[in-house]
Amino acid sequence: MGFHVGNPKSAADLVQAHQVHRDVYISPDVYALEMKHVFANAWVFVGHESQTPKKGDYFATQIGNQPVIQVRHKPDDIHVLLNRCPHKGTKIVIDRQGNTGKFFRCPYHAWSFKTDGCLLAIPLKKGYEGTGLEKTQNGKGMKAVGAVKNYRGFIFARLADEGISFEEFFGDSLSSLDNMVDRSPEGRLEVVGPPLRYMHYCNWKMLVENQTDTCHPMVAHESSAGIAVKLYEELNLPKGAPKPAAMQIIAPFMSPYEFFEGMGIRTWPNGHGHTGVHHSIHSDYSAIPGYFEAMVETYGEEKAKTILDENRHNTVYFPNIMIKGPIQQLRTFIPLAADKTIVESYIYRLVGAPDELTARTAMYNRMINAPTSIVGHDDLEMYERAQEGLHVNGLEWVNISRLLEDDENHEGEAVLNGTTERQMRNQFDAWRKFMTYDQDQQEAAK
């Protein structure tokens, strides 16, 4: 320990083509470096615009370990500010969401700020005359993030002032977000209720990797999906009788290896990728009356079919979210420490679509991703056993070489066998890139 302190290049060396050193999961020093570099140089999901629909509405969350506020400054203008009074450091808002009116006001000494962060007023301001306060960072108002992008309602931010553009960072991977939003006959999503909040004592990257780990469901989830199939068979329902909801949602986890091999994995540059290129566990959900008709009205039959035929399973957006387009779910894996992660699982309503779709999405969310989920329980068990097991000395590397190709590189899009670990390697390739991105840029500028 201590070896990597202040040295992003040494942390980047923990990643090799076929393996990663355990320090990427367990070292607090590496964690500090990824918060400072990876989460500052990458574009990170903040929230959805429907969480702050009116002027003055705010939503408090984190980008990596940085507390931030998403706030609607004008009807069409959402800002992301660091949640810290520039005076003494007090968090400006403490509730998760609310409305601040025309300005933020620090509850400690009443410094106030416009909703774009600009300093509005300081009580007894003459006390600062001649002190030079206005020339310091403290006198300039609430600090804003480096850049903000509202992409079809989803708010992303880059903490660093300079860096990769939104378009270059995401590239063609935005097709998954597009598909999720296009599934609304009005091309618009709205958040539904609060997210599930689930505390894990493991590293955030284990959760992200698991999103495209197609060799674990039939093993780790045998106790839920396998028993679901057994109970269903015991029911001996007549042919054609509607299946219990649990069978639609949980049973596909027991699909054989061949199913997951055939579903395919696609990867894009900068660590993004998805499972379910050809089909997925979401393919066989029963149709909802009236939905297809509403889609045809908006898009025409051909385009409506193209949108709905897409069955992408999990799309990972590096560094720390996953979306499920076919069911309008987004999960964010918020790092709290090297061995502590909070998972928040949101669902969205397809504006203009029948309520039954929202009902199915809500059902998926609670059955699979709740702290009370019989599926989630076994996932958490695996992550936390790994977090503890990785402390074993003398065996310090984690293998990620399944279906590794000799000339593998992550600069272009690729589609492969669905059981490859390529997406995990792709994430680590991006992790290494954004760990040293600022340093590499500075050196190139010399």
Partner 1 sequence: MSVSKDQIIDFIYEEARMLDEGRHDEWLALWLTDGHYWMPLDYKQSDPINETSLLYEDMFMLKLRVERLNGARTFSQKPKSRCHHVIQRPFIDEMNGDTFVTNTSMHYVETRLDEQQLLALTARHDLTLVDGQLRIANKRIDILNCDAAFRNIQLLP
Smallest gap, in angstroms, from Cβ of residue 389 to partner 1?
14
Q: What is the three-class DSSP state of 364?
A: helix
By the rule CB under 8 A, 358 interacts with partner 1 = yes
Q: Which CB sits closer to partner 1, 134 or 388?
A: 388
Q: What residues numbered 182-241 form the site for partner 1, per CB under 8 A?
A: 192-199, 220, 222-224, 226-228, 231, 235
Closest CA to 156 of 269, 63, 94, 83: 63
Q: Which CB sits closer to partner 1, 119 or 227?
A: 227
> How long is the chain?
446
Assess contact for 252 and 281: CB atoms under 8 A: yes
Candidates 140, 152, 188, 377; binder of partner 1 (CB under 8 A) is 377
Q: Which CB sits closer to partner 1, 168 or 381?
A: 381
Smallest gap, in angstroms, from Cβ of residue 346 to partner 1?
9
DSSP one-letter string for 143-165: PBPSEEEEETTEEEEESSSS---
By the rule CB under 8 A, 378 interacts with partner 1 = yes
Smallest gap, in angstroms, from Cβ of residue 139 to partner 1?
36
Closest CA to 276 of 318, 320, 324: 324
Which range binds partner 1 by CB under 8 A, 55-63, 299-307, 341-349, 420-428? 341-349
Tokens of 437: 């991105």
Candidates 20, 69, 106, 347; binder of partner 1 (CB under 8 A) is 347
Which range binds partner 1 by CB under 8 A, 131-139, 272-280, 364-372, 420-428? 364-372
Assess contact for 363 and 57: CB atoms under 8 A: no
The span from the CA of 365 to the CA of 368, in Å, is: 6
Q: What is the three-class DSSP state of 340?
A: strand
Closest CA to 269 of 436, 432, 415, 410: 410
By the rule CB under 8 A, 339 interacts with partner 1 = no
Number of amino acids touching partner 1 (CB under 8 A): 43
Q: Which CB sits closer to partner 1, 74 or 96?
A: 96
Q: Which CB sits closer to partner 1, 281 or 304?
A: 281
Q: How many other C-beta atoms lie within 10 A of the C-beta of residue 229?
A: 16
By the rule CB under 8 A, 371 interacts with partner 1 = yes
Smallest gap, in angstroms, from Cβ of residue 148 to partner 1?
26
Closest CA to 43 of 176, 175, 159: 159
Q: Which CB sits closer to partner 1, 301 or 388?
A: 388
By the rule CB under 8 A, 380 interacts with partner 1 = yes
By the rule CB under 8 A, 327 interacts with partner 1 = no
By the rule CB under 8 A, 381 interacts with partner 1 = yes
Give the largest CA-CA distance in the chain.
86
Candidates 296, 337, 370, 403; binder of partner 1 (CB under 8 A) is 370
By the rule CB under 8 A, 389 interacts with partner 1 = no
By the rule CB under 8 A, 139 interacts with partner 1 = no
Closest CA to 303 of 293, 295, 311, 291: 295
By the rule CB under 8 A, 17 interacts with partner 1 = no
By the rule CB under 8 A, 122 interacts with partner 1 = no
By the rule CB under 8 A, 323 interacts with partner 1 = no
Tokens of 424: 């995990």
Q: What residues numbered 86-105 form the site for partner 1, per CB under 8 A?
A: 96
By the rule CB under 8 A, 342 interacts with partner 1 = yes
The set of residues, in sequence order, having a beta carbon less than 8 Å from that of 239 and lying 6+ positions away, is: none
Q: Which CB sits closer to partner 1, 190 or 438?
A: 190
Tokens of 190: 């709205």
Q: How many other C-beta atoms lie within 10 A of the C-beta of residue 380?
A: 18
Q: What residues numbered 253-312 form the site for partner 1, per CB under 8 A?
A: none
The span from the CA of 342 to the CA of 336, in Å, is: 7
Assess contact for 213 and 370: CB atoms under 8 A: no
Smallest gap, in angstroms, from Cβ of residue 224 to partner 1?
6
Smallest gap, in angstroms, from Cβ of residue 381 to partner 1?
4
Closest CA to 217 of 184, 250, 266: 250
DSSP 8-state secondary structure symbol assigned to residue 223: I
Assess contact for 384 and 370: CB atoms under 8 A: no
The span from the CA of 411 to the CA of 414, in Å, is: 9
Query: Which residues contribute to the site for partner 1 (CB under 8 A)?
Result: 96, 192-199, 220, 222-224, 226-228, 231, 235, 244-246, 250, 342, 345, 347, 355, 358-359, 362-363, 365-367, 370-372, 374, 376-378, 380-382
